[in-house]
Structure 1
Amino acid sequence: MKATNQAILALEDGRTFEGEAFGHTGTTTGEICFNTSMTGYQEIITDPSYRGQIVTLTYPLIGNYGINTEDAESSQPHVRGLVIGELSPVASNFRSQQSLGDYFTEHKILGIEGVDTRALTKHLRTAGAMRCCISTELTAEEAIQAAKDSAPMEGSDFVKEVSTESNYHWDGESRLWNIPSPSQDREGHYEDLEPAKYKLVAFDFGIKHNILRSMRQAGFDIEVVNSRTSAEEVLALNPDGIFLSNGPGDPAALDYIHAEVEKLLGKKPIFGICLGHQILTHAFGGKTYKLKFGHRGGNQPVKDLRTGKISITAQNHGFATDADTLPDDVEITHINLNDDTVEGFRHKKFPAFSVQYHPEAAPGPNDAKYFFDEFAAMIEEFQG
């Protein structure tokens, strides 16, 4: 059911938008950004990489297929707020277990609908991502000030909020170990996977479930470890490979992680995705910088400089690698065709590579899913 609570969205530069609250009421602040995906709102709101952010969805109707536990990318939503054009009054899908509004009420997340998301997105593209406040209780002037008073994304360490407290072996539910069959019906028919061939240690900086699923499908047995795990502790587990996950916040603020990853270079094959790519940038001796409004959506064109092939990719990041700071022994392998930013690289000496985008999608295209098999091939080569 639609909410009737009036709400205001205020940006730190003074621009405001009016709408109606759904889910929770009150006040929330965070950096506002936009995602251009046409579907996958559940995966977006449960992606730990969005910790500390208020997300604007550019697709006009949200909530039409509801929420189900299987499609979540973590155990809970991580967005601080959601901005949409229209909340669907009906959740129509046989897999739906709950409406989006009820899900937000349960988790005390504040959403706002009825906003001109086209105007808001154009403003953010021009002015850049900025701090924001959504409130059902503040005046416009108070909400603007609350946005100004909130913490900036630069210098933030949200990894410590989302990383697992205890290491664990990934097994998920039994259904998550399997690949959906093309003949799947309403009850779900699945095909069993082959036994795992490689032992993987995955750093959890805010890891998505579909990365774990994709790794298992590529033949990896996965031990997930806390972001504060030392290089010595990782090597003591004697993995065949090491994975650096996605996650939220400013990669430059994670110096305690950079130092441990640097110690792992050359010891085992390393693969990084998104924040993991940025952490590897720092471990290599490079630097990162904040993009004006980031890359978030399922339609980002990326060129593989080694083959000339272009993939349409899923992305979610507000920081990028500074190409000019990378040492000579690092080769840039992929670039974004919209703005020429670094989308992937590999080390010329050590078995280590990473990509800035999300080969596991969720949501988005599967053009780049071959990277999981490429990592397995790197391990085979490393083992001789």
Structure 2
Amino acid sequence: MKLGALAVSAAFALAACGSSGGGGGSSSSAPAGGGSSSSSGGSSSSSAASVKVGMAYDVGGRGDKSFNDLAAAGLDKAKTTLGVQTKELAATQGESEQSKEDRLTLLATSGYNPVVAVGFAYSTAVGKVVPKFPKVHFAIIDDDANCTGSTAQPNVECLLFTENESSFLVGVAAALATKTKNVGFIGGVNEPLIQKFQAGFQAGVHAVNKSIKIQVKYLTQPPDFGGFGDPAKGKTTALGMYQNGADVVYHAAGGSGAGLFDAAKQVDKLAIGVDSDQYQTAPADEKSLILTSALKGVDTAVYDFISQDVKGQFKAGSTRFSLKDNGVGYATSNPKLKPYEATIEKYKKEIISGQITVPTTI
């Protein structure tokens, strides 16, 4: 690797290490500790003050008010409560696979251990980089390719979530709130993970009323991951759905979701956020239009990973956060959701009990 050139590359946006605004607010299932794990391995204990944690964000980085900000919140908590040192690097729009590999390599060679890769887009890069640094512990969010089968790595923990379950619950909310019997789903990138959000949302909508129309649009196709950081495209897509009759639109599109909220404000229709409680971070003139958000405990998962590593309790393998252990849920900050909460809770209990099995594929 040409690390000299790498250090000055414009592809590396070094994020500030201040506190994040990526979550908060009341929820029926606030992301908390837990998660079921399938893992092995361990490490020797180390002093927290000497631990240097590296964070490699997905497109949008800190400040996206969604997925990346949740990871940042977990890192901030580790810095505040554990006293670890941190460094943050962010992906850029349209970057190459090599850029992701270089980013992880830079962190590992600079003494950062553990290193957190935020998002499934790092899957290939993690697979190529981690074998070169067997003493460095890595975590990757939303991908298990490096924790299963013949490609499992002994120094990687995969942090996974049942996004289909939280998406089902906000699908129920959308079905109960729609007046036109027409709702929408915007995915950032047409990948299996985002299809999981779509599958859960569709199942939740149709559990309430099978006749409701669901419009579906993806902003980009792989290998273009720009769909997670393009608010303008998000707004154009959302406006098209509203113009075609939708009055509630749910997004799983990272930073592009800001465009959805702008569109909802323009036409005075409802929107549903993702990952964090986006009602809490929205401008005052958009808050009332964000009916709810599908919550995902990325902040808790990141903090727990770092905390366990500091304690010398690193575990390779997959850890999954679900509705049953409060790893995912839905936000209740907007008073407009109140009339629907009892029904949503009924479905939530049925999912937890196993009475309802939420699909993971479309």
TM-score, normalised by the number of residues in structure 2: 0.32
Larger Rg: 1
Of Structure 1 and Structure 2, the greater helix share is in 2
RCO comparison, higher one (Cα < 8 Å, 6+) = 2
In the superposition, the TM-score normalised over structure 1's length comes to 0.30
Which one has the bigger strand percentage? 1
